[in-house]
Chains A and B, each alone.
Chain A
Amino acid sequence: MMRIYLPRDATTLALGGEALAAAIQAEAAKRGVAVTLIRNGSRGLFWLEPLVEIETPQGRLGFGPTQVEDVPGLFGPDLARHPKALGLVDQIPFLARQTRLTFARCGLTDPLSLADYEAHGGFKGLARAREIGPAAVCAQITASGLRGRGGAGFPTGVKLETVRKAEADHKYIVCNADEGDSGTFADRLLIEADPFCLIEGMAIAGQAVGAARGYVYLRSEYPQAIETLRAAIALAERAGQLPGFSLEVRVGAGAYVCGEETALLDSLEGKRGMVRAKPPIPALHGLFGRPTVVNNVLSLATLPFIMAEGAEAYASFGTGRSRGTMPVQLAGNVRHGGLFETAFGITLGELVEEIGGGTASGRALRAVQAGGPLGAYFAPHQFGTVYDYEAFAAQGGLIGHGGLVLFDDRVNMARMARFAMAFCAHESCGKCTPCRLGSIRGAEVLDKIIRGERRAENAALLEDLCETMKFGSLCALGGFTPYPVMSALKLFPEDFGLTPHAAALA
């Protein structure tokens, strides 16, 4: 029996995965070879997708990116000479250099096989959480140093402890899977490759704070993830893995701002996704006014590792106050795009140049946007910046949800700055004026600069507007949009028709 792996995730689907699966089955039938085709999750080596793997006594051999015409060669005679042969997948440098804690099972297993999940250490963390009790679970998570991976970087253990201590008739666990940042796909990858890991993480959080109900708010742009997670929840419930905890997937409706936790809660309640003023914090007054843990997919999916292996095992990775690992997502114009989980402490340059391999176009790498549409641009002279929360903040940047979008030398940074303002205007919930109106005026001022109208004066006006948005907005949408705008202006003044001196004065 020949065992072949082909991912079932959205990326593979988008690259013709179903036709490939059919071709593999047809070729096997033609040759009379018995084949088990396992639809695994993606390993996250997206430039190699569709990545076909064949199990051998030495390990799993990879072939990619595979097209239908490459299929006959997968049946021999000489696999090593196949034009798409990659050797042992585990030894591909992009994978071998990673520290996979949260994503350890992704791509190895069948995402909807509970047996696979348990054979790879699944549900050990939840069992331990039940054994040691809520207070000890919160203490462990605090000791691990885990910080919110959605973007804000707030200590997860502190949040859980706050909800644990709150008194209420019931409490909620809400998973933020509204992964709207361009250049990020870690939530999608995890849900499509290892959904039980998220489910276990949410059950651990429920155990830690005494919550019996959880919601996953998943964006509508991810139909495959919705389907996979719903199927996984049904399997876990049927197998009796979630006693005393019920879990439901709720689908977003295309509003970026619902990735902000309070807008997300309003959306879950069936309202417009309007940002709430804080305080009160969701930990005390969250969904339907009850104490609520709101955490990103990656934070929750890291809890099983911490509980199973211990806080020290997690905290032993990383640097300074950035403990553990971050699933960095290399995207945009990148040669080796994909998910690279690594301990904090690597440099930005190592990530984009060595691991990412520079641009896909082969042209000069000009700018990197870190942390999504609300994150600052970085220029090559800043590539020595260490990838951790504090070092990025010192550069006016953002780790955010871990996205890095690469641009080659054809990018026009004035257009990118205008896009940031226009995107903010498109997605603003409208509650606060600096965001609702500031973003529209910002795009207009940028239009004037691009047209060449009184550039220096308008650049000064833009900076003033950005200050107002930064300090006057209710949430990060209006508050952080100035970062890509101002970093583009300061780093690439020539794209705005300005001299470096004029840009510095702005």
Chain B
Amino acid sequence: MNQSTPPQDWDPSLVDDIVARHKGTEGPLLPILHDLQAALGFISEDAMHLVAQALNVTRADVYGVVSFYHDFRTAPPARHVLKICRAEACQAMGGEAHAEALLARLGLGWGEATADGRLTVEPVYCLGLCACGPNAMLDGAPRARLSEAGLDALVREALA
């Protein structure tokens, strides 16, 4: 998801519009949740409630889906999201050590945001750039061949 467009403010009619766009399709829940998160930055309890009503399913059903998938958030993310690949091919290129060093410098654990709310660092398991590791993705834009210095530069770019 691209965080460079600021999320829209909460407005129940936004949910109605998104649901209406997908309601006639087969299995509309995931496309609805993706659109909601793209518009709002996360999927709130209020939004889940409205989606459940509109699709005539229980709130538990919707919550169950939201909580199952790593992509969906139930709280607002930081302004920028840096996803660092932790899978085998990037590990083979030393990616894990770079990532751990970065997290230590920022004082963060995986999935945590900086105190000023500007950057969340999340794990991702493979970006499909495995011949050019280590890799990461900043706000939806892929970056490859990231040395430790390259990863630092990427973070500085995000925080600038």
Chain A residues within CB distance 8 Å of chain B: 10-11, 13-15, 46-47, 49, 179-185, 187-188, 220-224, 250-256, 267-273, 288, 329-334, 337-338, 360, 369, 373, 403, 405-408, 411, 416, 419, 423, 426-427, 429
Contact = CB atoms under 8 A, between A and B. Distances in A.
B27 interface: yes
The range of chain B's interface size is: 35 or more
A270 B27 contact: yes
A251 B31 contact: yes
Nearest to B57: A270
Residue among A220, A270, A406, A427 with most chain B CB within 10 A: A270
B131 to A, nearest CB: 3
B88 A254 contact: no
A202 B128 CA distance: 22
Contact of B88 (A224, A273, A405): A405
Given A268-B27, A334-B131, A403-B130, A253 B92 contact: no
A114 to B, nearest CB: 25
A263 to B, nearest CB: 10
Contact of A223 (B28, B30, B72, B140): B140
A266 to B, nearest CB: 9
Nearest to A213: B26
24 contacts: A10-B129, A11-B129, A14-B132, A182-B130, A183-B130, A187-B128, A223-B140, A250-B27, A250-B30, A251-B34, A253-B34, A254-B70, A254-B71, A270-B28, A270-B29, A270-B30, A271-B29, A272-B64, A332-B130, A333-B93, A403-B89, A405-B88, A405-B130, A411-B92
Contacts of B29: 270-271
A15 B144 contact: yes
A112 B59 CA distance: 42
A115 B99 CA distance: 45
Nearest to B140: A223
Contacts of B127: 10, 14, 221-222
Interface string B54-86: 000000000011001111100000000000010
Nearest to A420: B88
B135 interface: yes
Contacts of A46: 129, 131-132
B22 to A, nearest CB: 10
Contacts of B133: 331-332
Contacts of A407: 92
Contacts of A427: 125
B33 A337 contact: no
Nearest to A188: B128
A268 B28 CA distance: 8
A272 B144 contact: no
A124 to B, nearest CB: 29
B33 A253 contact: yes
Nearest to B93: A333
A15 B93 contact: no
Contacts of B26: 268-269, 288
B117 to A, nearest CB: 22
Interface of B: 26-31, 33-34, 64-65, 68-72, 85, 87-93, 124-133, 135, 137, 140-145
A427 to B, nearest CB: 8
Contacts of A426: 125
Contact of B130 (A49, A185, A419): A185
B130 A331 contact: yes
Contact of A222 (B28, B70, B128): B128
Contact of A405 (B64, B92, B145): B92
Closest 3 pairs (CB-CB, A-B): A337-B131, A270-B29, A182-B87
Contacts of A221: 124, 126-128, 137
A337 B132 contact: yes
Contacts of B85: 182
A491 to B, nearest CB: 16
A182 B70 contact: no
Contacts of B131: 11, 46-47, 185, 329-331, 334, 337-338
B69 A253 contact: yes
B128 A273 contact: no
A405 B124 contact: no
A373 B130 contact: no
Contacts of B70: 253-255
Contacts of B140: 223
Contact of A185 (B68, B90, B128): B128
A218 to B, nearest CB: 11
A220 B133 CA distance: 19
A292 to B, nearest CB: 12
B30 A184 contact: no
A332 B132 contact: no
Contacts of A272: 64-65, 68
A376 to B, nearest CB: 13
B88 A373 contact: yes
